[in-house]
Amino acid sequence: MPGVTLDGSRKMGGYEFFEKVLGNPKYIVAPMVDQSELAWRKLSRRYGAQVVYTPMINAKMYAEGVRKPYREQNFDTVHGEEGGPEDRPLIVQFCANNVDHLLTSAKLLEPYCDAVDINLGCPQDIARRGHYGSYLQDEWDLIYEMINTLHKNLSIPVTAKFRVFPTVEKTVEYAKMLERAGAQILTCHGRTREQRGHRSGLADWEKIRAVKEAVSVPVIANGNILFYGDIERCLAATGADAVMSAEGNLYNPAIFMPAPAPSPSDPSPSTSSAPSTSASMYLTGYHPRNTGLALEYLSIVKSQKTLTTPSAVKGHLFKLLRPALAKYPDLRERMGRIRVERGERDKDGGVAWDRYEQVIRELDSRLEVDIEAAKEKTLEELSPIDEVTGFPVLPHWLAQPYIRPLPADPEAAKPPAESGKSGVEVVASECSVEDSACRGSKRPVPEEAAPAVHPLSSGEALGDSKRQKLQSEDVSAP
């Protein structure tokens, strides 16, 4: 569905844009505050991500530019790396409730991205207080005006990411309104606004399918993606054009890659002689060694001119290394004590990045011993099925989703009655880190103190990106 700007020029839209500019993608990384930053986008692209969103940007704060660091911290246009050739295709996401602020911010970043997305999905209390995200979903006139204004005034398409309503009928009407307003791609998160935190429950793929069947623009399915195998199941169930992953990507940035084919020297996946391959073949997906991913990410951070916030680095490392650090708590404690000292920020972390690398390399040495000890184990011993969750328990040296423990109060795990689900099975909310940004928490809670969720939860529903960091740096968020 092509668009026409106010000056009469034609721009691509809908499937033409989806195919010719974005490359007909199937694997998309979600907008995640303090987590889908440039360095992580680069890493994700190396492992199969075809389109990546920026972290959510507060349109009012970006437009006003009163807090000087806000612009450079959220999208650095000075060094030419963000939105550069290696950072495309790229979609910039804003939260907003004011058309003028939104248009001003979008025009500022228009040259650096392929599309601008409006966040209509954040369900957290900070979004309610700030009056944006899913708390706009009953104000259809305002939403229409915001989308339509960008549609008419930008040279690039506008897209929208939203949550479903309790009923299929209202969800479909909502999606149709977004399309009429000018949204060229719709990302449908299959949870309601009330499904958040430990009440997240399943994303409703049937509602996503109903949206897909009702609109003529591309639809991206969002929710319930834990493993590579979930991708095709989601696409088949929803009919969507692509899937979006948030926390699944954070714990395993290779979530979009299939398992490597067995080599002639290791033709059978029945042993752990090549654990990172054998175990991953069991799940049909690729689960690389987590220390290797962590070192690769740090290398990207150190190589670029664009600064990466200390909180983002620490958050990524703790997520990637979570199962390994759980086995070696002394190294987890050492990593948690690492700080970027005052005055080092301009030097992109100073010696802190080197300290992280030292801990990771020591962890890697210990994992080598564990891998050697596992050589003679069978695949069943290496990756047993957890009787409670039904998911494989992968070796601690592999990147893998975070399956949370059972909540102390079983009733707390039940989704709202309106969701129509009798129980919670898998939580894979794609708004998690995006939500945490909205929360703007100043003092994150250590990972081990994070509230428990259902055992089948990947933990994507929370606002946990900040909460899960061990002894993390203070973080300011919009």
Which are the catalytic amino acids?
122
Q: Distance between CA atoms of 52 and 239, rounded to whole angstroms?
A: 21
CB of 179 within 8 A of CB of 421?
Answer: no
CA atoms within 13 A on the CB side of 10: 6
Q: Distance between CA atoms of 125 and 103, rounded to whole angstroms?
A: 25
DSSP codes joined into one string, 72-126: HHH---SSS-TTSGGG-SEEEEEE-S-HHHHHHHHHHHGGG-SEEEEEE---SHH
Q: What share of the chain is helix, strand, coil (3-state, %, to 5)?
A: 45, 10, 45
Q: Distance between CA atoms of 393 and 278, rounded to whole angstroms?
A: 13
Q: Distance between CA atoms of 40 and 63, rounded to whole angstroms?
A: 25
CA atoms within 13 A on the CB side of 422: 0
218: preceding bond cis by omega (within 30 degrees): no
Q: Distance between CA atoms of 85 and 454, rounded to whole angstroms?
A: 41
Residue 213 CB neighbours (<10 A):
11
